[in-house]
């Protein structure tokens, strides 16, 4: 009987060790972002991750059209990881080739077609950032941890020349 109790205690210690590790990783993810950066872009992050979930869920060739099923497990995990690391992927995206190209596009047409093109362009960028977040975000987070850097976004609102 005492052996079983000691085995249960060892299992509980291992479980609490995993919980402590998960909490430590989550705290590290939060600590390497400035508080202002963590509070910004939450709506974009949520919308991008939901769109990526729907895109990945319905890209699969299954006859199951339910939103939540066994076919939605992998897209759900991908979207949750993307939600955690979205800020890191967004930080990596800023100033990249795709960002520069999309900002320098010249749109032609009527006012409503211009508005539609800009909205579509921003939605595609949101989907792209959320799609690459589990790879690019984790890579950027690990680099920030390795170099002990806190990431921030320059929004140029306080810049006199901006």
Confidence of residue 162 (pLDDT cuts 50, 70, 90): very low
Residue 74 has pLDDT above 80, yes or no: yes
* 7-11, 91-95, 144-148, range with greatest mean pLDDT: 144-148
d(CA 61, CA 11) in angstroms, rounded, equals 40
Closest CA to 151 of 136, 140, 162, 159: 140
**32 touches 151 (CB < 8 A):** yes
- pLDDT attached to residue 61: 67
């Amino acid at each position: 009987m005492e052996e079983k109790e000691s085995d249960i205690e060892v299992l509980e210690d291992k479980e609490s060790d995993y919980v402590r590790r998960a909490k430590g990783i989550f705290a590290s993810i939060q600590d390497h972002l400035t508080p202002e950066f963590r509070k910004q872009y939450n709506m974009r992050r949520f919308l991008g991750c939901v769109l990526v979930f729907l895109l990945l869920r319905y890209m699969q060739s299954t006859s199951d059209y339910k939103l939540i099923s066994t076919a939605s497990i992998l897209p759900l995990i991908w979207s949750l990881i993307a939600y955690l690391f979205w800020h890191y992927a967004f930080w990596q995206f800023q100033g990249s080739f795709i960002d520069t190209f999309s900002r320098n596009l010249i749109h032609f047409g009527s006012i409503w077609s211009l508005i539609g093109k800009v909205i579509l362009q921003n939605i595609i960028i949101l989907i792209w950032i959320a799609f690459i977040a589990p790879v690019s975000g984790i890579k950027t987070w690990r680099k920030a941890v390795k170099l002990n850097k806190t990431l921030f976004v320059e929004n140029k609102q306080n810049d006199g020349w901006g």
